[in-house]
Chains A and B, each alone.
Chain A
Amino acid sequence: MKRLNCRHATRCILCYGIVSSSSLMIAGLVLLILVGGITQATLGQVISSGNSGYDLIDIFASGNLMVELSEILIGTGMLVLLAIPVMRAMVTLVLFTEEKDRKFVMITIMVLLILAISFLVVGPMEAGIKL
């Protein structure tokens, strides 16, 4: 079986992750500015309106579809960014697995579990979501 080049894989994750997430975020912001949904709102209004500020911008904007598209672009950009450290941990897991280092395979799985618990258990509990 072909071994994974971890250095190359990590470099690709970091490069493509950073470029794609920042491009998506910039595209979403530019779209929002072009639609005009942002120029009339104040920061205080955005924060107090809830739904990460999009409800208010939706009201101000002339074309709602474009606002939704920008919301998707910015949100996806953020999720791609969030996935980078998780992917790095996964590549490290592959590295330790290939080295047959059982202790560090277990330790890396523990780190991935902490990340999973944060998103799937503690986060929903704090948000009041029923599991």
Chain B
Amino acid sequence: MYTMVEYFLLMFVISFAAGLLGPLVGVGGGIIVVPALTLLFQVPLAIAAGISLIATIATSSGAGFIAYGKNSPANYRIGMLLMTMLGTGAVIGAVFTVFATRSNYEWLVIMIFGAVMLLCAAILMLRRSEDFEVHIKGDHVSEYLKLGSTFYDQVQERKIDYSPSRVFSGMWSMLAAGVLSGMLGIGGGAFNNISINGIMRVPLKVSVATSNFMLGMTAAASLGIYLLSGYVYPLLAVPVVIGILLGSFKGRSMLNHARTPMIRNVFFIVLVAVGVEMMLKSVGIT
């Protein structure tokens, strides 16, 4: 059994690594922190989810602060519209985990977590960083709510007009992303980007910035339930918050120099291995 000092040191290092990987591979934070807490430290999943959600708010705020130094392309209208579904999903997900933990169905949540890790690994390998084709003319919902906008792409050195399409489909997929976020204590940035960029065809840069704007609010929606149900241990969250914040700042500064494909491949192997380990844990094999 680990002493608290060992926990603080080890968890700081793991969280730093998780924060470092986030900006480099586009997946990170909770997807590393929660399995580390449940597999390595045998922390119950609901407590691990609570800790991870606190860290998600910290990374989202830290990343938001950096983005605000430049001209953030975040689209608040799209963000707020999707937050209605994402927030609702997060509340449903958190209620499910609290109920499952109290009813001895924690194994089910751990199994879902393992499956989500394997899904994230697949997304990581298949998606790379290609942008989907951007739609200039959106659907009637987009036109009615004036969701379209323009942003300046510094790489292409030109202004890009866009208007989201398939808004309803995007909203429903956000409900699912919210359920996963609240249930597993992960930010779910990868799933948000699938919805905003993949389904609604909003440019990837706008999608990432808008997703980051929503992450903190999503985590806050489910954290309230974990907090009042007694599953939030602020003391255990301290090394995770500090580690992940410092890691994400460092990760952003390394973005232009790091050998991203190699890191991505290593991270893919880690995700698959830990995902399988979580699945095995859920059926009581490990």
Binding site for B on A (CB under 8 A): 7, 10-11, 14-15, 17-18, 21-22, 25-26, 28-29, 32-33, 38-44, 46-47, 50, 52-54, 57, 74-75, 77-78, 81-82, 84-86, 88-89, 92, 95-96, 103-104, 107-108, 110-111, 114-115, 117-119, 122-124, 126-127, 129
Contacts and interface: CB of A to CB of B under 8 A. Distances in A.
A127 B76 contact: no
Given A39-B5, A111-B217, A126-B98, A47 B44 contact: yes
Contact of A52 (B3, B57, B76, B234): B234
Nearest to B62: A18
B168 interface: no
Interface of B: 1-8, 41-44, 47, 54, 57-58, 60-62, 64-65, 68, 76-77, 79-81, 83-84, 87-88, 90-91, 94-95, 98-99, 145, 213, 216-217, 219-225, 227-230, 232-239, 241-242, 245
Where chain A touches its partner, the secondary structure class is helix
Of B60, B219, B229, most A-chain CB atoms within 10 Å: B229
A14 B4 contact: no
A117 to B, nearest CB: 7
A118 B224 contact: yes
29 contacts: A10-B64, A17-B61, A18-B245, A22-B245, A33-B5, A40-B3, A42-B3, A43-B1, A43-B4, A46-B235, A47-B44, A52-B232, A74-B234, A75-B234, A77-B238, A78-B234, A81-B61, A85-B216, A88-B213, A89-B217, A104-B80, A107-B81, A107-B84, A108-B80, A111-B84, A118-B90, A123-B229, A127-B229, A127-B230
